[in-house]
Structure 1
Amino acid sequence: MRTAEVKRRFLDHFAARGHTVVPSAPLPAEDPNLLFVNAGMVPFKPYLLGQVAPPYPRAASVQKCVRTLDIDEVGKTTRHGTFFQMNGNFSFGDYFKEEAIRFAWDLVTASVADGGYGLDADRIWATVYRDDDEAHGLWRDVVGLPSERIIRRGMADNYWSMGVPGPCGPCSELFYDRGPDFGRAGGPEADEDRYMEFWNLVFMQYERGPGTGKADFPILGELPARNIDTGMGLERMAALLQGVDNLYEIDETRPILDRAAELTGKKYGARSGRAASESHPDDVRLRVVADHVRTALMLIGDGVTPANEGRGYVLRRILRRAVRAMRLLGFEDPALPELLPVARDTMSPSYPEVAADFERIASYAYGEEDAFRSTLRQGSTLLDQALGDAPERRLPAATAFRLHDTYGFPIDLTVEIAAERGVAVDVDGFRSLMAEQRRRAKADAQAKKSGHADTGLFRAVLDESGPTEWLAYETLDTESTVQAIFRDGVPVTSAADGDLVTVVLDRTPFYAESGGQDSDAGRLAAAGASAEVLDVQRPVKGLITHLVRVTGGEIPLGASVRAHVDPEWRLGARQAHSGTHVVHAALRQVLGPAALQSGSYNRPGHLRLDFAWRGGLSPAIRSEVEEAANVAIRRDLPVDVRYMALAQAREIGALALFGETYDETVRVVEIGGAWSRELCGGTHVDRSAQIGSIALTSEQSVGAGQRRVEAVTGIESFRYLARERDLVARLAEQVGAPRDELPDRITALLERVKTAEREARRLRDERTAGEARRLADAADDVGGVAYVAASTGDDPRALAQRVRDAVPAGRAAVVAVLGAKSLVVAANGAARARGLGAAGLLRGVGRGGGGDDLAQGPATGGDALDALRALVAERAG
């Protein structure tokens, strides 16, 4: 039975029993404490904890999950995987133990013909909490499970809580006996490899107090409403029904593993047994590839993109671990174009969207692999030198951080490669440096949002005065009241001339920075006082703050003020934001639907848009995009704003920015109807012609599989084109050519410059070759080795190689060239045969890295040349 069929039968079973089927939530978790949804109950937590009234009394879902805490264990055994699916049925104060037990038993034991899974009832075991006589009785009397196959266990195994005070309760787990080939008889307590757990039913009925561990906490009493939270592992059930050993062998995973084995010429499982200790390194790597490629497909499908922080970093690490595993298996070519389509084909029966969206998904994945391959080429050279310089076989934290921060070399890869060379890495120090960098970035971002005030102070204002009445869509002017003033993060009662303060108003017409749109500018005016509005933010949901500089008089707490948005600023902002939507639609019109926006920023007259695409845009494509945008402007398309349910917006094809979260009611902005239809909270023009015009000013890469275009709009577009016109005129005058002949004339001038540079390089090479021959002829004999020491202001590496190659064949030669910043040592084959390798000699007089033929380190002065000569004499003797 295919995994997609296992999923369908589960949902059909519970739908027929009154459960609302809830689609899987996206993998990026809305819970601020989680990067990804890591359990099936996560989307239902507000209902289970009584924080929000549930919209249905009972529900069922198959939830996508990702766990990466034990990512280093993936592949070492067949138990660990990063992506998995959890089938769950939930009751919110509705049914309880008896129904939950009966629903589970009916599904797993009903015949395949009757819509069940057809498991042999005589091979199913249950565990219950030690004191849960009710559950024990239900399994025995209602289901008919023999008492000897119902095992009582303690809190560590069969009691659930979230680890903090709150709901808790006993649980009951189902196990399936896979037979003597898998281990010892005797039930789950004897061997959990043979007896595979596949379903956990949590009976959430008590409230627990504070404590530590899984068992050290008091039970305070019954919950006002009892809930059911169950989880059935989809991959485990698929393994049971498909008659395979583990999650790596089911239909959604094994084809990826097989393709990786085919590409690398490896045979999976040929040299390994069942025990983890027997796993061959090639089997481990093949499992890593199969797991990580599938996980990456699902993460990118849910809007995660490779990045250096947070979720994006986890994805980046997963992709790079897969690529590196393929390289360690001997496959040097791009691997993901061969593997990702296999993952798509295995997962699309359950998730058709990964096939429909595959072009976008692949662009990010393939771009990340291309970037990583480049990183490996560049970073490996730098890492080689750093490892050669590592004092006491330990790589300092600062070096590892520089490799990560400057060159993009991931710390986990640094650790792996260093371990292969017998060098330890100061990982704790690296993490401290990363934490400090994040702390500074977070503090900078928070300072911008809150003006250095504690957000708790803003929450207090919100609790006392209520949310800000936001009127940015309706007007540019309001009569408002000052509700709070903060100076340097401290509440004050007034602000005087020259003060820089944060002001909270009861109502405001100012647009607060969000959705990629910069905040409005304008003024506040009070009796005898005025202030310039510099920035507008939303430090906490529902409250808007204004960073202002008082330019005259005094503004007290409670004062009536007139809040006025600069109309020219707002017009420019509207032109830029609508222009962003137009450029996005133009990109998709020219390049196709895969060119999907991943981020944007716009301010009056200027816009920046990031989108998914591999490879740069040619001048012809850029021109086509620019023309498509300006044609839309010339057509004076209507710009309409509609509010609707999120589900309806998705049905009509409104584009949403991946990674963003939206309320159930969303704002949809349309330009020309379906031509541009996006979820957006920004301010816009009424018709496209009001944008004026759009001129693309740049296009560049901003990451693997991501491009960025920048453009100007409105009057700034005319100014930009005027500057371009004037520049062309000056160039034409300087080279003495008509404008239409300017490209040919400049090409001819550049070719003359290149010819002159080639001639200069030829003369320089001849001079270097002559100098190399002279130095080789004058080499000192040191213990039978031709030793050359020289200094140069040019390229010491090139000179050292030239001199080494100029020494007659068969004669051992060591060459040392001191440059302005580095010392280079070269040794020919005859010298290396006598144990005089370049890297070893260089480290003998200082530090550096490289190979036995050529090594390089920092310049240490002329004394190093004398020391090197003495070392050659010592080792040659």
Structure 2
Amino acid sequence: MRTAEVKRRFLAHFEKNGHTVVPSAPLPAIDDPNLLFINAGMVQFVPYFLGQAEPPHSRAVSVQKCIRTPDIDEVGKTSRHGTFFQMNGNFSFGDYFKSQAIRFAWDLCTMPLDKGGYGMDPDRIWPTVYFEDDEAFDIWEREIGLPKERITRLGKGPNFWSMGIPGPCGPCSELFYDRGPQYGQAGGPAVDEDRYMEFWNLVFMQNIRGEGSGKEDYPILGDLPKKNIDTGMGLERMASILQGVDNLYEIDEVRPILDRATELTGVKYGVSKSQVAAESHPNDVRLRVIADHVRTGLMLIGDGVTPSNEGRGYVLRRILRRAVRAIRLLGFEEPAFPHLFPVARDCMAPSYPELESDYERISQYAYGEEEAFLSTLRAGTTILDTAVKEVKGEGGSELPGKRAFELHDTYGFPIDLTLEMAAEQGLTVDEKGFRALMTEQRQRAKADAASRKSAHADKSAYTSLLTENGPTDWVAYETLESEAKVLGILADGAPVDRAGEGDIVEVILDRTPFYAESGGQHADAGTLTGPGLSAEVLDVQRPVKRLVAHKVRVTGGELGVGQTVHAAVDPEWRIGARQAHSGTHVVHAALRQVLGPSALQSGSFNRPGYLRLDFSWRKGLSNTTRSEVEEVANLAVRKDLPVAVEYMPLGRAREIGALALFGETYDEEVRVVEIGGEWSRELCGGTHVSHSSQIGPLVVTAESSVGSGQRRIEAATGIEAYQYLARERDLVTRISEELGAPRGELAERVSALVKRLKDAERASEKLTERLLGAEAAEYAARAADVAGVAFVAVLDDDKDSRKLSQAIRDHIPSTRPGVVAVAATKGGKASLVVTVNAAAKSAGLSAKELVKAAFSGRGGGSDDVAQGGGAPASEAKGLLSTVGERVGRIVAGE
């Protein structure tokens, strides 16, 4: 049974049993500060379980796309570790509980294929229950009819679920499938979890947990007011069972990618007979890594993540680069993604058709990242070679851990490649130091995750206000002013009754005209006023859904809970914000008209008079293209296109081609903003002008790269655009006056000046070289004779010591052994450069040895040229003397 069919049957079974089918949320976890990515099927339903929002339906079913990266280094070594996976789940929000949840799962698993089930052998399914959960045990035994010996009681660790923080929790019942004696020992999941594969976890969310750590060390504080169901069936695991394959890498959505990699590399897959990590052949592991990471990269880019050096983009970059590294280790040196990604697309498109329609954009990012990494490998190799030379030059044999970490962290150079290439050049690597720095980095990441988790927990104050008072009456689309009642005041996240002059607090109102920052639009500015009260609104956010919080500075009087205030948005601010947000849509449409439909927005920000828009494109825009985008945008402004807003179902919006921002989560009913009908049609919750002419002039001010395959365009709108053009005009006027040239001739005049300056610089360089040559000849003519060797010692702080030393050496007759030592002082330290000619080397003299003699073993270079430094400036002359003395002793055979 194909994976797409496993998914279809799951959704159909639960939809038939009264569940609402909920689409998968995008992989980026936009609404949860704990997570970079959705990592479980229940994540999008967390607000319902925490009581932060009222569920729109009492039963739901979904197949959620998930990413888990903590065990990324284990991918490919076992049958269990995968980065991207899909989680089938059915959910009850205070509706049915244990008996029905168990029955739903059992029926789907054992129902014959011709009746829509999976047709699994009932005798091979083994459930586990929490050891104290007699209720679940009895259901399995009495209602389902399983013998007691097939129902395993396990402890809190494996069979009790919580989110890892105080909140909802409850016992679990997991379903395992006996894959047969070829996979291990008999006796059930408590004996062997390789033979008995877990494929479905039924969570009975009925309790509230307190503070604690780990999976077991926390108290149970009581029962939830409503009991909920949260289940998770691993789609890939179920597919591997139903397809009769050993592991998730061999199912129909993954194996073709692996097979294509074997064709490219000529490496055979299946060398490992066992799936145990210690016995997995390195080539098998690499092929699995390639298959897993290519599929993961496809899904992440498909959901709007782009490669970068931080956050989600960094995880994607690491995954893609691990795939590139793995296939290179198998001997394939050419770009591999153009061969692998189309296969992954074809595997996943039956479940996610958008991957096919959006493949041009996806491939731009994937192929661009591989090309960039191949360049990085070349650059990293050069940097590593330099580091190796430095270590050898100083007489060392080990590359410092700090350098290895820098190559890994800054340049993306894999540590295994550093180890391999250093060994080829006779060096070891301080792996202990490298691992210590990696540990420090992980600890910083964990601390950051902990801070995000605590931020999540801090939302309880907002949740309480929402529960007590209901959602904020948000009237930002209808008016700029309204009377409002103060429902709550928070200082540093804690409720307070009052705030006085100078205090900065968060204020919750029953009604607000203020736009809360979202969709790339900055929050409104304005005031709260009342009898004897004045407060400046600094920021407006939605800390939890349907609740608006105003960050204010009290500038006069006192603000109190229960007080009535007049909330007023600054009208000039809102006008500028509307111009900028509508301008963003116009620029996006202009980009797509000029560059083509693949130039899709991937992020934006706008505030009064300013907008920036990130879009997918692999190279910078030429001046001509940039001007064309600006012209198309301003033509749209001049046409006075109507701006229309309509609410409609999400499915309808997609049908009419409304563009959505990648990574955003949308409700079933969405707001569609059109400018000129289908010319610009986007899902958007921002504030807009009513006709495009109200945007005013639109001036593109900058265009730049913000990552591989991603560009950023910035623009000014309205009065700020006028001001930008005025500054440009003033600048041109000043340059015109300074040069005494008409504006139309400025480009040619400046170009001529630049050419004259470059010519003057070249002439100066030639003159400097002639003067250096003349001075070098004088030094060479005055060379001292040291045991038949022409020895020149110079102390010069003004010139390049290396160039001067080599120039002097070149003026010594080639038939006479010559040694030149040039010392210099800078910053209180002395440095030394020594050069020798071929005749001197034949006489047994080495520049590197002479430098080391001067610096007591330190310094580096070659036999021809070497240098050292770090001695006190007062020792500069002594360094020269030491070199001369050492020359004499070597020639004398001492």
Which TM-score bucket, shorter chain as reference?
0.7 to 0.9
Q: Which moved more, 1:581-590 or 1:571-580?
A: 571-580
1:545 equivalent to 2:550? Answer yes
Shift of 1:696: 0.9
C-alpha offsets along residues 68-91 of structure 1, whole Å, 9 cap, x if unaligned? Answer: 111122233343111112233445
- Counterpart in the other structure of 1:713: 717
Shift of 1:712: 1.6
- Counterpart in the other structure of 1:577: 581
Distance in 2 (CA, whole Å) between partners of 1:45 and 1:482 is 28
- Counterpart in the other structure of 2:171: 169
1:65 equivalent to 2:66? Answer yes
C-alpha offsets along residues 543-587 of structure 1, whole Å, 9 cap, x if unaligned? Answer: 44354574xx75675887665544444323322221122111111
1:692 equivalent to 2:696? Answer yes
Shift of 1:49: 7.0
Distance in 1 (CA, whole Å) between partners of 2:192 and 2:845 is 60
Letter in 1 for 2:279: E
Letter in 1 for 2:590: A
Distance in 2 (CA, whole Å) between partners of 1:187 and 1:810 is 88
Q: Report if aligned partners of 2:261, 2:290 keep a CA contact under 8 Å in 1.
A: yes
Change (3 A) 1:147 1:484: closer
Distance in 2 (CA, whole Å) between partners of 1:153 and 1:852 is 75
Shift of 1:62: 2.4
Q: Report if aligned partners of 2:523, 2:541 keep a CA contact under 8 Å in 1.
A: no
User: How high is the TM-score relative to the length of structure 1?
Assistant: 0.79
- Counterpart in the other structure of 1:702: 706
Identity across matched positions, percent: 56
C-alpha offsets along residues 402-436 of structure 1, whole Å, 9 cap, x if unaligned? Answer: 8899x565898999899971341333784499579
1:355 equivalent to 2:363? Answer no
- Counterpart in the other structure of 1:608: 612
- Counterpart in the other structure of 1:320: 321
Correspondence 1:512-527 to 2 at 5 A? 512-521=516-525
Correspondence 1:659-678 to 2 at 5 A? 659-678=663-682
Q: Report if aligned partners of 1:608, 1:708 keep a CA contact under 8 Å in 2.
A: yes
Aligned residue for 1:689, secondary structure, equals: helix
- Counterpart in the other structure of 2:687: 683
- Counterpart in the other structure of 1:233: 234
- Counterpart in the other structure of 1:422: 430
Distance in 2 (CA, whole Å) between partners of 1:664 and 1:46 is 16
Q: Report if aligned partners of 1:125, 1:187 keep a CA contact under 8 Å in 2.
A: yes
Aligned residue for 2:316, secondary structure, equals: helix
- Counterpart in the other structure of 1:654: 658
Q: Report if aligned partners of 1:595, 1:613 keep a CA contact under 8 Å in 2.
A: yes
Distance in 2 (CA, whole Å) between partners of 1:223 and 1:488 is 29
Letter in 1 for 2:610: H
C-alpha offsets along residues 99-118 of structure 1, whole Å, 9 cap, x if unaligned? Answer: 65565555555665665545
Shift of 1:220: 8.3
- Counterpart in the other structure of 2:366: 365
Distance in 2 (CA, whole Å) between partners of 1:514 and 1:403 is 38
Distance in 2 (CA, whole Å) between partners of 1:475 and 1:140 is 62
Letter in 2 for 1:584: H
Q: Report if aligned partners of 1:176, 1:198 keep a CA contact under 8 Å in 2.
A: no
Correspondence 1:109-258 to 2 at 5 A? 115-119=116-120, 125=126, 127=128, 150=150, 152-155=152-155, 159-162=159-162, 166-180=168-182, 182-184=183-185, 188-193=189-194, 195-202=195-202, 204=204, 207=207, 228-258=229-259
Q: Report if aligned partners of 1:125, 1:176 keep a CA contact under 8 Å in 2.
A: yes
Q: Which moved more, 1:329-338 or 1:345-354?
A: 329-338
Aligned residue for 1:653, secondary structure, equals: coil
Change (3 A) 1:208 1:601: closer
Q: Structure 2 regions of 5+ residues with no counterpart?
A: none
Q: Report if aligned partners of 2:295, 2:344 keep a CA contact under 8 Å in 1.
A: yes
Aligned residue for 1:240, secondary structure, equals: helix
Change (3 A) 1:755 1:713: same
Shift of 1:197: 0.7
Change (3 A) 1:165 1:790: same
Q: Report if aligned partners of 1:838, 1:854 keep a CA contact under 8 Å in 2.
A: no
Change (3 A) 1:158 1:752: closer
Letter in 1 for 2:22: V
Change (3 A) 1:385 1:113: same
Correspondence 1:56-95 to 2 at 5 A? 56=57, 58-91=59-92
Distance in 1 (CA, whole Å) between partners of 2:67 and 2:832 is 49
Q: Which moved more, 1:723-732 or 1:625-634?
A: 723-732
Shift of 1:665: 4.5
C-alpha offsets along residues 230-255 of structure 1, whole Å, 9 cap, x if unaligned? Answer: 43322223333444332222232233
Q: Report if aligned partners of 1:458, 1:539 keep a CA contact under 8 Å in 2.
A: no
Q: Report if aligned partners of 1:824, 1:854 keep a CA contact under 8 Å in 2.
A: no
Distance in 1 (CA, whole Å) between partners of 2:200 and 2:658 is 39
Q: Report if aligned partners of 1:839, 1:848 keep a CA contact under 8 Å in 2.
A: no
Q: Which moved more, 1:825-834 or 1:285-294?
A: 825-834
Distance in 1 (CA, whole Å) between partners of 2:850 and 2:187 is 61
Shift of 1:629: 0.4
Correspondence 1:368-767 to 2 at 5 A? 368-373=369-374, 407=410, 421-423=429-431, 424-425=433-434, 426-427=436-437, 430-431=440-441, 434=444, 470-478=474-482, 499=502, 504=507, 506=509, 509-521=513-525, 533=536, 535-538=538-541, 540-541=543-544, 542-545=547-550, 547-548=552-553, 550=555, 565-728=569-732, 731=735, 739-762=743-766
Q: Which moved more, 1:77-86 or 1:258-267?
A: 258-267
Distance in 2 (CA, whole Å) between partners of 1:457 and 1:58 is 28
Aligned residue for 1:678, secondary structure, equals: strand
Letter in 1 for 2:177: F
Distance in 2 (CA, whole Å) between partners of 1:218 and 1:492 is 33
Change (3 A) 1:840 1:709: farther
Aligned residue for 1:655, secondary structure, equals: coil
Shift of 1:20: 3.7
Shift of 1:738: 5.3
Distance in 2 (CA, whole Å) between partners of 1:186 and 1:809 is 89
Shift of 1:140: 7.2
Letter in 2 for 1:599: G
1:286 equivalent to 2:287? Answer yes
Shift of 1:347: 1.6
Aligned residue for 2:314, secondary structure, equals: helix
Q: Report if aligned partners of 1:818, 1:859 keep a CA contact under 8 Å in 2.
A: no
Shift of 1:847: 7.8
Shift of 1:28: 2.6
Distance in 1 (CA, whole Å) between partners of 2:299 and 2:204 is 31
Letter in 2 for 1:342: V
C-alpha offsets along residues 775-818 of structure 1, whole Å, 9 cap, x if unaligned? Answer: 99979989999999986655566678889999979999998876
Q: Report if aligned partners of 1:482, 1:503 keep a CA contact under 8 Å in 2.
A: no
Change (3 A) 1:669 1:205: closer
- Counterpart in the other structure of 1:451: none
Change (3 A) 1:370 1:804: farther
- Counterpart in the other structure of 1:450: none
Change (3 A) 1:682 1:738: same
Change (3 A) 1:99 1:575: closer
Distance in 1 (CA, whole Å) between partners of 2:295 and 2:413 is 21
User: How high is the TM-score relative to the length of structure 2?
Assistant: 0.78
Distance in 1 (CA, whole Å) between partners of 2:795 and 2:585 is 62
